[in-house]
Structure 1
Amino acid sequence: MTESSKAQSNSNETASTLEAVYQSLTSEDDGRVCKDIPEAACRHQPQNVVTHVISLTSTKVADGLIDPKLILSWLLSVLGASSFMVGLLVPIREAGALLPQLFTAGALRSMPQRKWAWVVGSFVQGACAIGMALSALFLAPDFAGWSILGLLAVLAVARSVCSVSYKDVLGKTVSKSMRGRTTGLAASIAAGAVIAYALLLSSGWLERQILVLGGLLVAGALWIFASVMFTSLAEEKGATEGGGNPLTVARENLSLLVRDKQLVRFIAVRGLLIATALAPPFMVTLGGESGVANGLSGLGSLVLASALASLLSSYVWGHLSDQSSRRVLIYSGLFAALALAMTAIFDWQNVLREFIVLPALLFILMIAYHGVRLGRSTHLVDMADADNRAAYTALSNTIIGLLLLAGAVFSVIAEYFGLRAVMIVMTIMCLLSSWIAVGLQEVQQEK
């Protein structure tokens, strides 16, 4: 067989593999596979869907391996960093990933192919993760702590670029009926990998610090791999209007709040549902000093609870989101309200520390959390169009970033009124979110 015929054979095998994976995802579809993307993009959709799944899976695994709430907090504590430093991790990560988006959206809109923004952002995140591991290995504890915080800030900004550009690229390269399943499948696969990592952390087979530092290095490699993989995405050139001065673009984006009442309602729903992200530390603290609570708060167990919930729910949530992201947001709010209300009730009845009670409630909350993530992502992509999708994403993410910073008020509530009061307030927030979500449009319906 000649070299050219071998190359042709390998190409055909690759195409067949891509088509097989794509067909497995669309096996229940009724032929409505390209109802809102150009014909040129439709031809590349099998390849693009697989590229999205592989790239997104890699970055989601990387996210699990450096989770600031768990992994980096533990690492800084081991390095002897102050509680002040540890307390900065989550605000830097969450606000840094969301707040810059209102200003970066304008620059991204000047790019006809926005996949390149995602490629650069993913590569920078990988470099930062590797830098964190090297800082912990070779720097003095204080310098290592500040270095990790600085690298996390850079990583968060790079993540914000990826967040804005990804939703826009997804909307241009994957049809409406496939988006939820594509992201949901990636989340489920990634959850399986993170579960394996959590079990390894819990096993005691290797020193935990070695596993954490190794996890950071693997996370960096995965982000860089995803960056390289994403370059192969077939993305059609899109609209570039709106690029320019960031402040001017920010003012224009803010005007969307006046013009689009559905966007305002969506942001209100998403803002109330930040309770699903903020609640877990308060729930774990409610467990007190009992053996169950201490076991749950172990590094491996917490990672395992989150990953298991994602594994069991993400693809289902993604599939439901393709049918009605509005209903997913409603159901997620109700699930979260149930978990939070039962946490308060069981704490009042002094049974929260009984075996399996707190882990089960945390598991239910994390299922709701992953529903929120997939439902709001799919709803935002589908409610927007190619011309305003990046602006919608940037505006909503920036507002949510501000609300997450304001979430520090829950620490004040806990200090003066107790943790049970925090659970009650968050329960009300989730119930309100479901009530407001009823008024969202069914954006998955054909226009």
Structure 2
Amino acid sequence: MPDPSPHAESSAPRHPDWMESLYERLAEDDEGRVCKAISEDACRASPGNFFRTLVANTLSSLADRIASAKTTLPWLLLQLGAPGWMLSLLVPIRESGSMLPQMLIGAGVRRQPVRKWVWVWGGALQGLCLLGMGWAALALEGAAAGWLVIALLVLFSLARGACSVAYKDVQGKTIPKTRRGRLSGWISAVSGLAALGVGLALGALQGEGSTALFAGLLVGGAVLWFAAAAVFGRIVESPGATEGGANGVVEAFARLTLLRDDRPFRAFVIARALAMGSGLAAPFYVALAREELGDALSLLGVFIAVEGLAGLLSSPLWGRWADRSSRRVFAAACALAGALTVAVALWSWLPMPAWAASWFYPLAFFGLGLAHAGVRLGRKTYMVDMAEGNRRTDYVAVSNSVIGALLLVSGVIGGVAATVSVEATLVLLGGAGLLGAWLSLGWKNVSG
């Protein structure tokens, strides 16, 4: 893995005026540089690092939205004639596959003094996986196409797990503490605007999508990942501590004792687990909408556009609030997701006219997207602010691995429950979210 010399990485270049101006506007840092919890070198490099992180993660976020395991990939497998039961594997693999290995990945990341290269190689691998899926869309069909897409999704998720650990640690070393929420908010907003445009374009199309169209979406996502990796590689990151890098399997599992010994961390993991419904409920929203409104390509475009609009409108607000109190952002967003999910279940149980469903489901999906953005931003900002140095990597690896395992279990249970009643499953997910919101109000305040 590339490891440029410490002198090259620690020297902060002069930034052009436009970059300084952009940083002051986006980070609201026009009254003197704010540099809490990062080094002096990182402080000088923060405008450029803020901009490069914004661009790289905006590109990767847009790639995720146009090649989503909740929308695009299910439509693709149906188009290719893959067995229907394969659809139930997509979201659990996508989410838990990127989280379960993170205790082991975290140990490897800690051995790297410059950790941005983990993200760069992980991003490039995700781009290659999307290219492979695009090839499958054009060359294969039926179960063979489905199995290849699933296998590539497993590899994609493992690469994403490495990126997740590395990103939080790089952000903690290069972005001032009081500017991290704003950065995450702008990433979601800009990528949401782009996703809105893609969704509107798809929504204007009539009939069912062709395999060439789906392949084009996946290839476009791959190009975005390659560009994101190139930009992220230009981040100025000083070499960090590597103590404890040779942990191995035993040490990775030994860090699970954090759940027993660290009460604030344990409270965070419990509430985060209860909040999983903000992500797990989305396919059920889509399933109920498709049942009532049909499976035309325009419906896929509507959901992509609505999700993008939610990110565009919600994330800057969530970001500013997260810098003041990330736990309250998490609590409010989690409560919103829980209440909406229960409402969708009740709506589906009641005899409603078809014309009403055409606006209710997109509106509810918009609200869920808004809430999910807040849940993710709140807990990510809280996680980064809760610990410093290598303890941050431990927290990320342990919490994501535990949540990944619970996601897999919840996916199986939810799939079985959904065969009996989708509405009852939504009520359970919504109720858990409301409980998680209440518990998170007791978290320790770590912002500011």
- The TM-score, its normalising length taken from structure 1, stands at 0.91
Change (3 A) 1:383 1:233: same
Residue 419 (structure 2) pairs with residue 415 (structure 1): yes
Instruction: Please say if residues 352 and 358 of structure 1, whose CA atoms lie closer than 8 Å, have aligned partners that are also in contact.
Output: no
Partner of 1:69, secondary structure, is: coil
- Give the superposition deviation at 1:136: 2.0
For residues 274 and 429 of structure 1, what CA distance do their matches in structure 2 show? 8
Residues in 2 aligned to 1:376 and 1:430: alpha-carbon distance in whole angstroms: 14
Distance in 1 separating the partners of 2:424 and 2:296: 24
1:62 equivalenced with 2:63 (yes/no): yes
Indicate the larger mover: 83-92 or 177-186. 83-92
Given residue 324 of structure 1, which amino acid in structure 2 is its aligned partner? S
- Counting only pairs closer than 5 Å after superposition, residues 67-146 of structure 1 correspond to structure 2 as 67-139=68-140, 141-146=142-147
Residue of structure 1 equivalent to 2:433: 430
Shift in Å, 1:351: 3.2
The answer to whether the 8 A contact 2:70-2:282 is kept is no
Aligned residue for 2:182, secondary structure, equals helix
What is the rounded CA distance, in whole Å, between the counterparts of 1:287 and 1:230 in structure 2?
Answer: 38
Q: Could you say if the C-alpha distance between residues 14 and 139 of structure 1 is closer, same or farther in structure 2, counting changes exceeding 3 Å?
A: farther
Q: Percent identity?
A: 38
Q: Label 1:289 to 1:119 Cα distance change in 2 as closer, same or farther (>3 A).
A: closer
Q: Give yes or no for contact 1:37–1:173 (8 Å, CA) kept in 2.
A: yes
Deviations 1:161-186 (A, max 9, x none): 00011000000000111101111111
**Is the counterpart of residue 170 in structure 1 residue 174 in structure 2?**
no
Counterpart for residue 280 of structure 2: 278
Deviation of residue 294 (structure 1)? Answer: 5.6
Partners in 2 of 1:415 and 1:130 — Cα distance?
A: 33
Give, in whole Å, the separation in 2 of the partners of 1:222 and 1:106. Answer: 28
- Matched residue, 2:251: 249
Is 2:404 aligned against 1:401?
yes
What do residues 353-381 of structure 1 show as CA deviations (whole Å, max 9, x unaligned)? 52422322222122111111111110000
What amino acid is the match of 2:379? R
Q: Which residue of 2 aligns with 1:231?
A: 233
Q: Deviations over 1:78-97 (max 9, x none)?
A: 11111233332222211211
1:25-424 equivalences under 5 Å are 25-27=26-28, 31=32, 33-139=34-140, 141-204=142-205, 208-287=210-289, 289-291=291-293, 298-351=299-352, 353=354, 354-355=356-357, 356-407=359-410, 408-416=412-420, 418-424=421-427
Q: CA deviation at 1:296?
A: 10
Separation of aligned partners in 2, 1:68 and 1:232: 29
Moved more, 306-315 or 372-381: 306-315
Change (3 A) 1:290 1:154: closer
Deviations 1:6-47 (A, max 9, x none): xxxxxx996112111101123366546101111110000000
The range that moved more, 353-362 or 324-333, is 353-362
Residues 1:290 and 1:147: Cα distance change in structure 2 (over 3 Å): closer
Distance in 2 between the 1:284 and 1:146 partners?
Answer: 23
C-alpha spacing 1:312/1:352, structure 2 compared with 1 (3 Å):
farther
Distance 1:205 1:15 in 2: 46
Query: How far apart, CA to CA, are the structure 1 residues paired with 2:30 and 2:244?
Result: 36
368-377 vs 79-88, which deviates more?
Answer: 79-88
Q: Which amino acid aligns with 2:371?
A: A
Deviates more, 1:101-110 or 1:331-340: 331-340
- Per-residue CA distance 1:395-434 (angstroms, 9 max, x = gap): 1111111111111212333334x23322322222111111
Give the aligned partner of residue 3 of structure 2. none
Distance 2:292 2:240 in 1: 56
**Aligned to 1:442, which of 428, 440, 445?**
445
What amino acid does structure 2 have at the position aligned with 1:426?
Answer: L
Paired with 1:279 and 1:148, the residues of 2 have a C-alpha distance of 23
* CA distance in structure 2 between the aligned counterparts of 1:234 and 1:352, rounded to whole angstroms: 56
Deviates most, 46-55 or 294-303: 294-303
Q: 1:400 to 1:296 in 2, by over 3 A?
A: farther
- Quick check: 2:303–2:365 contact (8 Å CA) kept in 1? no
Q: Secondary structure at the match of 1:241?
A: coil
Partner Cα distance (2:319, 2:353) in 1: 31
Shifted more, 236-245 versus 177-186: the winner is 236-245
For 1:211, the aligned partner's letter is L
| Alpha-carbon separation, structure 2, partners of 1:75 and 1:248 | 40
Q: In the aligned structure 2, how far is the partner of 1:208 from the partner of 1:296?
A: 9
| 2:281 aligned counterpart, secondary structure | helix
Which residue of structure 2 lines up, in the alignment, with residue 6 of structure 1?
A: none
- Supply the distance in 2 between the matched residues of 1:47 and 1:312 (Cα, whole angstroms): 25
For residues 311 and 352 of structure 1, the distance between their equivalents in structure 2, rounded to whole angstroms, comes to 30
The answer (yes or no) to whether the contact 1:104–1:246 under 8 Å persists in 2 is: no
- Quick one: which amino acid aligns to residue 307 of structure 1? G
Contact persistence 1:32–1:177 (CA under 8 A): no
**Distance of 2:426 and 2:297 partners within structure 1:** 18
Equivalent residues of 1:287, 1:352 under 8 A apart:
no
Instruction: Return closer, same or farther for 1:252/1:300 CA change in 2, 3 Å cut-off.
Output: same
The 3 A distance-change label for structure 1 pair 120 and 148 is: same
Q: In 1, distance between residues paired with 2:252 and 2:440?
A: 26
Q: Alpha carbons of 1:435 and 1:13: their partners in 2 closer, same or farther (altered >3 Å)? A: closer
Aligned-partner residue type, residue 188 of structure 1:
A
Q: 2 CA distance for matches of 1:152 and 1:238?
A: 32
Paired position in structure 2 for 1:5: none
Q: Is the 8 A contact 2:49 2:174 kept in 1?
A: yes
| Offset of residue 120 of structure 1 | 0.6
Name structure 1 gaps, 5 residues minimum.
1-11
* Superposed displacement of residue 288, structure 1: 7.1
1:43–1:296: structure 2 CA closer, same or farther, 3 Å change rule?
same
- Contact 1:380 1:392 survives alignment (8 Å): yes
